[in-house]
Each structure stands twice: as structure tokens, then as C-alpha cells.
Structure 1
């Protein structure tokens, strides 16, 4: 990384981008920047945590504001949504990079991100984004080990994704739906849950929590607080997904694989 000259890291505040930013700061010092792209799909709490983390790392931090909702292809919410999102995001970050006289854009993509339905990776590849974790085959588990060795407070932070990932493909992404999801997820965060999602199926909210937190969510008092809070966020109905949290459970490839595996099991029976 020392050979990169001047470098900008796309900085979400998650453990992946934190590790890349920390290494960049150590390798390049004042020649490294972290840039967070702020839009409707980034929860306010995530932005606050990203700003605090950049200060913890000691890297210079810039914000750039844009709206994915300006692109009708993103709002349409097809399976290619992430391609349009990441295209806009890195084009915006490249604008700041040019102002800072930086030639290299870096991301926190890791080796565990490959193999799933990730059209956003195509957008980054088109823009020749530097992906050191992916380049050296660093898995998510190894990223966390690196983060702990680097002394980063987020080494065990649960993986997050942009708020639009809570809306099933084919259902338009709107500002109202994004804010409703954000408010609903703040309810679970306030109750102390660590790994969760609120999937927005129109007026119905499907709540996912990690399997190891399921016993707590089934407590009648807690369940009632979640139901009332998610209703207050704007959802008419609230359901609990008994399969628990699954990253990318709205992902079309993951869903297709699950259906295929189910058919195989039925054949065996």
C-alpha cells in the first residue's frame, strides 16, 4: 500500500473498510483519506459511528452527499440495484479523490464477498477500485482477526448493509420506505440486539434476529416492545422470522439455492 501514493478509502465504518483505512493510515499517513458517501440508504447511526471510527483510526475523513434515488434504475429495485448504487457511490468518491489529487480508490471488499450475487463488485471492477483484502484472499474471519490485532473497536461489529437491502426486488425504493426501515431497526438496537434486520414487505415488516438471540426475542415483554415499536415506525403488520437472521435473505441467488436445496431434500425423502 505504500506504493499507492495518495489513496482514498471508501469508508462505511464497518470492520472491512476500517481495516483498510487503518492500514492505509499507517502506510501513508497524511497521504491517506477516508471518504464516506452519505445518502438515504445510510442509517444515521451508521454515519455517526463511521465518523467516530475515523477519529479513532486517526485518518483524515471527508463526507460526500448524494442520492441514489436520483437514478430511476436504482429506484426500480431490480437484482442489479447494487450495480447502480456502487456505480454512483464510487463516481462520487472519485470526485473527492480528484480534488485531493488521489489516483487510487480503495474498498474493503474481502474474499468472503465473492461467490454470492454481488453486482456491486462489477461496478467496482469497472472503475478499477483497489481491493487489497480481496487481492490477498483475506476472509471475513481473518479481517476480524486483523482488526483485533490493530486494536480497532469494531473488530466484532456485526456486518451491516445499506437500508435498500431490506426491500425485496421489484418493490420500489423510496425515501419513505428507507426511513421506515431505519426507525424500525433502531427499535431492536435500543433493545440491545446485535444482529438483526427488518425486511420491508410492503406494509408488513419481517423481523430477523440472530439465532443465538432468539430466546430473548421470544420473551413476551420484549416481543411486545418490538411489535409496538415497529408499528410506530410505520408498518401495519409485524412478523418474526423463525429461521433467524440470514445475511442476504432477499438475495435472488441465495433464494434460488435455498429452493434448489429444498427440492433435493424432497427427492431424497
Structure 2
């Protein structure tokens, strides 16, 4: 790390998660706190309020300088073509971090993501010091260093911005974007006293109708579910609310390129969607005729009639 930083200074792309926290700690130990700066991309309404609190708290505990840079407008432009976290990272997050930063930017890329698996050390001014590390090794290192990273509570492993739960084109940020932003905050607030490992509200449906799909594991008692459903129905940009209460089927309209690629469809199902659902899911694929759609859009969801699975 010392050898790669010409000025002896390093900027860390800091999300407040396990990976970037370890990078920040290692950088401060290698270079000194005064030579390390943390930059967090704030996605405005799509950043969890709890997440921003965690970012600020961790930076304070590590006694490292923290700067926020906006990224939600670029994020909204990406989502106008359909859901894509990879494109969002490439076209919104990384450019936001790079703007105004001289020298290398260290990221938390590791063996759990595409960049880490390539083994590339530096790419376009971004540096991956953890490229050979596994998630387990990162967790063990933080534990050894006595550093606890609080979780937002939306997922057991990878937590991120709320916009990833909008599973359709964002044609109107005030309608589509606002629905997923406010619904996920409401859900976590309602679950404050209920122990859970996964909690999110997916927004699906045609562009003219926002259908909120609630995933919580373990499944809460019926009285909590009814209370949450009522709270979400009070949001004026949500038209319908459904709980995922068992194995389900998603009807997905896909861009022809995605539709015709078995490998791409498998990744969307198993890599992108299934880990964030409370129960197993299957997909009914249809080829989209919408020229604007570059990825996919979930247009409907229903429960399998014959199921015996449960959320652990």
C-alpha cells in the first residue's frame, strides 16, 4: 500500500460495510490517519438513514476524515433503463468518488465480487488491496482487530442502497423512486423490536402501478404483518401491498439480450434476486418489447400453490 501511493496519501471509497472498513483501518495503519481520507457516496433518498449514521460513526471511531459526495441523480439516470447495480456502480458511484480526488482510490473489492476475482490490482485509478481476500477472512480480520461494524438490518450479508429494491424502470423518480425509498425506511422502523435477518420492500408491477412486495425473515406474526401492510398502504405512491409468505413465482420481462442468455438469466435469478427474498423463488420469463428496457422488470409476483418451504 505504501509503495503504490506516490504522495503517501490514499482515498478510501467508504460505504461503512465490512470490506471498506477493513481497507480504511489497514490504510490508516500503513500510512497514518492524517494521510487517509474516506469518501462516501450519498444517494440521497436512496441511502438508508441508518446507513449514513453508521458511516459517520465508524469514521469518528477510526478518527479519519470523512467526506460525502452526491450520487443519486446519476443513479436515477441509470435506473431509467432498468435495474442494474453493476451499471450503477460503474456509472454513478465510482465517477462520484473519482470527481475531485487526485491519486489512487482504494476499494473493498474482494473474492466475493467480479473485480476481486479478476486479480487486477489497479484499474482506472481504483485500487483493490483486498482482491485476494474472502468474506470470511475479512470478517476474521475485523474481529481480530476488535472492530465491530453495525448492520442496517435489510440483509444478512450484502447491504446497500434502497434503490436496488426497485425492480422496474424508474420512469418517474417522484413516483417509482419515492415509493421504494420511503417504504424500506417504514419497514425497518416497524421491525425495530422484531429480530430479523432479512427485511426489504421490493417494488414491482407495470409502470402505472407500484406493487410493494414485503420480504421479512423470519416471517413475523400476522398482527405485525397487518400493521406493516397498513402503514405501507398509507404511502400515496404505493398502490398495492403483498407479503411474501411462501415460495413464489416472479413474472419478469427481460431485454432480448438478457432473455436469450441462459447464463444471464441464471445470474439474475440466483445472484441478484433470490438472496433478497424471504422464500425460494422461480421465474416466468417473457421477452420485452420495450426498447428502453436494458435489463429486466418484474411485472408480477404470486405464491406457488403447492409449497412446503419455510423461512429459517
- Give the shorter-chain TM-score range: 0.7 to 0.9
In the alignment, which residue of structure 2 is the partner of 1:93?
Answer: 97
Which range is displaced more, 194-203 or 63-72?
63-72
- 1:152 and 2:147 aligned: yes
* Alpha-carbon spacing, 1:76–1:125, altered in 2? closer, same or farther (3 Å): farther
The TM-score with structure 1 as length reference comes to 0.75
CA deviations on 1:6-43 (whole Å, 9 max, x unpaired) are 11111111122111112112222211111011123322
Alpha-carbon distance, 1:236 to partner: 2.3
Secondary structure at the residue paired with 1:92?
helix
Q: Which structure has the larger Rg over C-alpha atoms?
A: 2
Deviation at 1:79, TM superposition (A): 5.5
RMSD of aligned residue pairs (Cα, Å): 3.3
Match of 1:9 in 2: 12
Provide the rounded CA distance (Å) in 2 between the counterparts of 1:54 and 1:198: 29
Change in CA separation of 1:225 and 1:130 when aligned onto 2, cut-off 3 Å: same
CA distance in 2, matches of 1:230, 1:189: 12
| Larger helix share, 1 or 2 | 1
Counterpart CA distance in 1 for 2:141 and 2:65 is 21
State the number of aligned residues.
Answer: 238
What is the match of residue 48 of structure 1? 53
**Is the CA contact 1:69–1:174 (under 8 Å) kept in the aligned structure 2?**
no
Say if 1:164 and 1:173, in contact at 8 Å, map to a contact too. Answer: no
Q: Could you list the runs of 5+ residues in structure 1 that have no partner in the other structure?
A: 116-120, 261-269
Partner Cα separation in structure 2 for residue 155 and residue 46 of structure 1: 9
83-92 vs 143-152, which deviates more?
83-92
Instruction: Write the deviation string for residues 47-67 of structure 1: whole angstroms up to 9, x where unpaired.
Output: 122111111122111111243
- Please say if 1:27 is aligned against 2:30: yes
Tell me what 1:195 maps to: 198
Task: For 1:206-245, list aligned pairs within 5 A.
Answer: 206-210=213-217, 213-214=218-219, 217=220, 219-234=221-236, 235-242=238-245
Greater strand fraction, Structure 1 or Structure 2 = 2
How big is the shift at 1:77? Answer: 3.2
Residue 82 of structure 1: which of 79, 86, 102 is its match? 86
Shift of 1:69: 4.3
Q: Any conservation in 2 of the 1:77–1:173 contact (CA below 8 Å)?
A: no
Query: SS of 1:97's equivalent?
Result: coil
| Partner residue, 1:267 | none
Give the whole-Å Cα distance in 2 for the aligned partners of 1:125 and 1:95. Answer: 17
Q: TM-score, normalised by structure 2?
A: 0.65
Asked if 1:58 is matched to 2:58, the reply is no
**What residue number does 2:277 align with?**
none
Task: Tell whether the 8 Å contact from 1:147 to 1:155 is kept in structure 2 after alignment.
Answer: no
Q: In 1, Cα distance between the equivalents of 2:201 and 2:60?
A: 30
In structure 2, the CA distance between the partners of 1:51 and 1:177, relative to structure 1 (3 Å rule), is: farther
- Partner of residue 266, structure 1: none
Which position in structure 2 is the counterpart of 1:36?
Answer: 40
1:75–1:173 contact (8 Å) kept in structure 2: no
SS at 1:209's partner residue? Answer: strand
User: Take 1:155 and 1:49, find their aligned partners in 2: how far apart are those partners?
Assistant: 7
Matched, 1:114 2:109: no
